[in-house]
Structure 1
Amino acid sequence: MRILISNSSNEPIYNQVMSQIRTNILKGDLKEGELLPSIRGLARDLQISVITTKRAYDELEKEGFIETVPGKGSYVAVQNKELMKEKKLKIIEEKLLEVVEDSRLMGFTYEEINDMLKILFEEVI
């Protein structure tokens, strides 16, 4: 698992760690039941505080992405397929909301943005 920390980002470091692990789980790069690096090991590898890593893992556990077994480590949690789809939709919705807000500020119409989205969607496929 590769995590990149940006010191120039306004996003807190624990949140950067959390969002990258979450993304790896949602994309399927981290599979259900897979063992995550230990809190201390990840902190050492990223050269960040153990407290920061622990906070990221705690938040991921609250969100249901990982499970921690005392004395054994943290694992990718078994995901409810419907719940996983909802989480993915929420992420896309947040990104699209940002696009809509920016588009309105820049004076683009719905049709112009829809046309751009169609072109981009077809290019990726």
Structure 2
Amino acid sequence: MNIIISNSSSDPIYLQITNQLKKYIITGDLKETEPLPSIRKLAKELQISVITTKRAYEELEKEGFVESVRGKGFYVALKNKDLIREKKMQMIENKLSKIIDESKMLGLGIDELIEIIKLLYE
């Protein structure tokens, strides 16, 4: 697991951590019941405040991605397969939305965009 903090990002650090961990969980890079690094360990690795790391983990817990076990830390939550699929679909839709916006800026028509997708899909 490699979390990258960008100082040039408009997102706060805790949100950058949250989004990257969500991605790892959704893609299966972090498996169900797998432990996350301790709050202190992750804060030290990223050279950030423990409070920031704690906030990221709490956000993930609120959204149901992780569970905390008192005295033991945070673990990837058991997920419903349909919920994971839905989250993956949402990620694809977000990426496609950005691609569509860029395509419009370039003046590409929908038929050209569909043709590109078909070629890349094969």
Bucket of the pairwise TM-score, normalised by the shorter protein: over 0.9
What TM-score, normalized by structure 2, do the two folds share? 0.93
Shift of 1:84: 0.8
Q: Is the 8 A contact 2:30 2:76 kept in 1?
A: yes
CA distance in 2, matches of 1:58, 1:119: 42
1:1-125 alignment, distance < 5 Å: 1-122=1-122
Tell me the CA shift for residue 9 of structure 1.
2.1
Matched length: 122
Counterpart Cα distance in 1 of 2:24 and 2:10:
21
Unaligned runs of 5+ in 1: none
Q: CA RMSD in A?
A: 1.2
Deviations 1:84-110 (A, max 9, x none): 111111111111112112222221111
Quick one: percent identity of the two aligned structures? 57
For the residue of structure 2 that corresponds to 1:67, the secondary structure is strand
TM-score, length basis structure 1: 0.90
Question: C-alpha separation between the residues in 2 aligned to 1:5 and 1:120?
Answer: 31
Give 1:10 shift. 2.1
Question: d(CA) in 1 for partners of 2:14 and 2:120?
Answer: 32
Could you list the per-position Cα deviations for residues 9-56 of structure 1 after superposition, in whole angstroms to 9, with x for gaps in the alignment?
222211111111111111111110011011111001100111111111
| Unmatched segments (≥5 aa) in structure 2 | none
Moved more, 28-37 or 112-121: 112-121
Tell me the secondary structure at the aligned position of residue 5 of structure 1: coil
